Structure 1
Amino acid sequence: MLQKVLLVEDSTSLAILYKQYVKDEPYEFFHVTTGEQAKAFMEKNPPQLVILDLKLPDMSGQDVLAWMKEKQLPTAVIVATAHGTINIAVNLLQSGADDFIEKPIQANRLKTSITNHLKRNKLEGLVEDLQNTFNRKKYQGFIGSSLPMQAVYKIIDAVAPTTASVFIYGESGTGKEVCAEAIHYQSQRSNKPFVAINCGAIPRDLMESEIFGHIKGAFTGATTDRKGAAMMANGGTLFLDELCEMELEMQKKLLRFLQTGRFTPLGGSKELSTDIRIICATNRDPLTEVNEGRFREDLYYRVHVVPIQMPPLRDRGTDIIDIASFFLKKYAKEDKKKFKAMKRDVELKLCNYAWPGNVRQLQNIIRNVVVLHNETHVAMEHLPPPLNQQLTSPSAKPQVATSQSVVSQTPQEEMVQPQHEVIAPQSLHEHANTQQDIDTSIIRPMADIEREVIQNAIDHCDGNVLNAAVLLELSPSTLYRKKQAWEAYEESDS
């Protein structure tokens, strides 16, 4: 979409000249002659840039600028000023204008000013969008701002307004149904029903009835007509969870329904039609299921239009703490308990646990803590199995930060320093009084110690830099920056 430039100039002849200057430029150029026309234009569709004349027939340029500031319009302003009013223009720069240009405006000066301000406006918009994206800690039922979840949010934003089928896959407990609901409530069908069917929890002989409904007398126990999920979701979204659990014959009927939008209730003779969006999910690898003959290939390609992979909880870094804190406050309020937060060692334990049951397991762990205890802070002794058990043997992984090597951070988080004595076996007092006895061969540069501690932390976390940052109490950006610097130095040295 082309950017818009609005010229507010009461001289029609000058406006025609300026339009001629920029006629080949890659933006739209509009012209109005009064302040009121300018305000009406900007209220309807704010441009990226306004070139504002100071003297207008109905009000001054200062009045228009003040109005724009009051409305907080995200529009850059270049003040067009005649000779002798430079001081006024300077005052306007202090009041919110971005630049001024002196009349008569030369062609090159006009084009250069417009181009520069549009580039800056576009860059600022991209930075703002990026900041908004990475500041999303809560999104449509999700909690977390980790990079894997930001990728999920972006796909949901893109696919929700469309009619495309979505296929969600991921481990049990990762939030596949929450993802499907997010797509539904971001779509144009949000005011229509969202109906979820778990294909793995419904007996095979009842699956057709659950989805398509049945007519009275269709089978033993069918005492009345019953609408199926396909009709109940009419106009909205039908979510088929654990789709790979569906038997092949039912998959064939589902495929026909997806292709035609029509179905026949079980025991009926009349075809019905419905308008729904299908979202499917599975905790298995769908291609493996196709290759093993348990999932129809034609159905796979029909529903696998936009795939979304839900990341396991162990890959979501400090999202684990945010989710745990959310459930802790929620259950404490419901059960009238005193819990407010978690102790630091508990947060580290949570971030370094594998979470085979993902978010559902974390939710149950926090529920257990709140039910059985009543303190202000969750402590290690409150955690139930398996979190209160030693997960690895001492020799299984490199040691990260022991009593002999504890990591801290400066206010700028730029240096990692050992807080305890590591250069000699003597006590501090002995060290101060017997420096001549120190074996200097064991003294190492601080940078080497810092790198070793950080690398041990990353190895301990199986390469997960986010988890290592939590262990070291550093920001992930600090670790990434140091790691990149080391790698760049090694490349330049080789």
Structure 2
Amino acid sequence: MTPPLPPILLIEDTPSLQLLYRAALTKSGHGVVTAGTAAEGLELMREAAPQVILLDLVLPDRDGLDLMREMLQLNPSLHVVVMTAHGSINKAVEAMRAGAHEFLVKPFDEARLLNVVANAHKTAQTAPPPKPAPVTAVAPAAIPVNPTVPPAPIGSGFIGSSDAMAHIHATIVSVARSMATVFITGESGTGKELCALAVHGNSPRAAGPFIALNCGAIPQDLLESEVFGHMKGSFTGAISDKPGAATAADGGTLFLDEVCEMAPALQTKLLRFLQTSTVVPVGATRPKKVNVRIVCATNRDPMDAVRRGQFREDLFYRLFVVPIHMPPLRERGNDVIEIAETALARFAQEEGKQFDGLAPEVRALFRRLPWPGNVRQLLNVIRNVAVLHEGGLLTADMLPASLPQQAEAAAIPPPVAPSPQVPQDAPLVLDALLGRPLAEVERMVIEATLARHNGSVPKAARVLELSPSTLYRKIEGWAQR
């Protein structure tokens, strides 16, 4: 007989909500202990030894985020689900970065509550015992970085001991144990998928599947089927049922690469998937529940995509919980040498040859190069050398002829662009704006832009580099005043 799970600790200071959440959890078979203050919650945590805690971030006697940090220091294996009102969603995101398992935005329905609690219990049951580590569960910006001490076994594909990479390693270790969505940014070839693999490999889901899907490489009309699956006969060519990537990743991690290329209609369905943890294959009528951790990546500026109306703002804030920026290779110092030497040894072994490392002039050249293709370009260069040469010391004459030219081009400063001409009527425009409150100036600019585009919010949003939803909120706010 399976032993009963430890009770859930519910810390909520509003009596009506406390009663509502407790009733829903009890009806589902969960044991629940409740507290209305931070002090009571801390005492009950020691007495009841819960695995899962539901924590309101606004408490009468203490900040909920500080309480969560203390609880995680006392017991790193806790799975804390934070609860917050819609207006304080930034606080919830901060909590996720500090080690929370998941967050709930009030008001939420009973199904969402029970699903989050079930996932937290499942993760707690399968997670290995926590190991002592020098990194505490705090926000990534506060993680101490020590390049000489690796924070954890990140994975053999992640090479580099620069300060930037040490900070990324520490962030991965801190976030891997939670369900927080990770949003990886960086230029093409910087290793975003390796970063996603490291998050998966250092998490309790490491034994589960890692499913990668490139949203930019799949035709838009097939993307929904690839993500959520389809039923036989649901469209032309659907000759059998097919599980999508979200179902295939059940119990593991779903990596959505180039997520900003996703069609708007699919963005809506992805947002619902994140909120409900259920998938509805194309042609199906019944949803299916899955337990998936989302990691996504893009080589674009996601905020710019939001401003241009190409990416949903609410989906962006749901995904952009723990951002990790992969720096370009040119900003990683001696990492370029470490990566080149490691790759040379590996490719030489594959080709059955013996190389003796990099010559000093090659090391100096590699440090000077801009590496527009980043790590991917470097690996191609080393592969080229390993295939075309017999071995020995890797000298400059073994490199592709284009590399020294790239170094010379990078050394030439780019031409200075001429200053834009200031319109003759600019002083008159400035005179009309000077002395007015900033909010009034903003409204004048927005209303003038809308008038120029015949009241079209999408067109005005593109010109102003804002999302249409932002403009609609501003217009509604003015109407209510």
**Residue of structure 2 equivalent to 1:307:** 323
State how far apart, in whole Å, the 2-side matches of 1:175 and 1:394 are: 23
* 1:167 alignment partner in structure 2: 183
Answer whether contact 1:135 1:145 (CA < 8 A) is retained: no
Offset of residue 352 of structure 1 = 0.8
Change (3 A) 1:314 1:334: same
Distance in 1 (alpha carbons) for counterparts of 2:197 and 2:145 = 25
Q: How does 1:27-426 map to 2 (within 5 A)?
A: 133-136=147-150, 139-140=154-155, 141-389=157-405, 391-392=407-408, 396=412
Question: Partners of 1:395 and 1:231 in 2: how far apart?
Answer: 50
In structure 2, how many angstroms separate the alpha carbons of the residues matched to 1:284 and 1:389?
28
Cα deviation for residue 218 of structure 1 reads: 1.0
Using the TM superposition, give the Cα deviation of residue 393 of structure 1 relative to its aligned residue in structure 2, in angstroms: 7.1
The two structures have a TM-score, normalised by structure 2, of 0.54
Q: CA deviation at 1:375?
A: 2.6
Deviations 1:250-270 (A, max 9, x none): 101100111111121001111
**Structure 2 match to 1:88:** none
Counterpart AA for 1:211: V
Partners of 1:175 and 1:270 lie apart in 2 by: 38
> For the aligned residues, what is the CA RMSD?
2.2
Contact 2:369–2:410 at 8 Å: present in 1 too?
no
CA contact (8 A) 2:258 2:298 kept: yes
> In 2 relative to 1, CA 167–390 (structure 1 residues): closer, same or farther, beyond 3 Å?
closer
Match of 2:428 in 1: none
TM-score by length of 1: 0.53
Counterparts of 1:278 and 1:374 in 2: how far apart (Å)?
Answer: 44
Identity %: 51
Over 3 Å off, 4+ runs: 129-133, 135-139, 393-397
Give the number of aligned pairs.
Answer: 271
Paired letter, 1:275:
N
Q: 1:373 offset after TM fit, Å?
A: 0.9
Separation (CA, whole Å) in 1 of partners of 2:317 and 2:282: 26
Task: Return closer, same or farther for 1:263/1:394 CA change in 2, 3 Å cut-off.
Answer: closer
Q: Is the 8 A contact 2:224 2:266 kept in 1?
A: yes
CA distance in 1, matches of 2:260, 2:162: 29
- Give the letter aligned to residue 269 of structure 1: T
Q: Distance in 2 between matches of 1:180 and 1:395?
A: 34
**Alpha-carbon distance in 2 for matches of 1:395, 1:199:** 36
- Measure how far apart 1:349 and its partner are: 0.4
2:326 and 2:401 map into 1 onto residues whose CA distance is 26
Q: Classify the secondary structure of the residue corresponding to 2:405.
A: coil
Task: In structure 2, list runs of 5 or more residues that go unmatched.
Answer: 1-133, 135-142, 414-481
Alpha-carbon contact 1:146-1:316 (below 8 Å) kept: yes
| 8 Å contact from structure 2 (residues 370, 410) kept in 1 | no
CA contact (8 A) 1:215 1:225 kept: yes
Cα deviation per residue 1:296-330 (whole Å; 9 max; x = unaligned)?
A: 00100000001000010000101100000011010
1:340 Cα shift?
Answer: 2.3
Give the number of the structure whose alpha-carbon radius of gyration is greater. 1
Distance 2:291 2:329 in 1: 35
CA distance in 2, matches of 1:229, 1:394: 42
Q: Given that residues 259 and 298 in structure 2 are in contact (C-alpha distance below 8 angstroms), is that contact kept between their aligned partners in structure 1?
A: yes
Deviation at 1:388, TM superposition (A): 3.2
Alpha-carbon offset, residue 132 of structure 1: 6.5
- Specify every segment of 5 or more residues in structure 1 that has no aligned partner in the other structure, as ranges: 1-122, 124-128, 398-494
- Relative distance call for 1:131 and 1:212 in structure 2 (3 A) is closer
Deviation at 1:133, TM superposition (A): 4.5
1:220 Cα deviation from its structure 2 partner: 1.2
In the TM superposition, what whole-angstrom CA distance separates every residue of 1:108-147 from its partner, at most 9, and x where no partner exists? xxxxxxxxxxxxxxx9xxxxx9797524498322000001
Letter aligned with residue 399 of structure 2: L
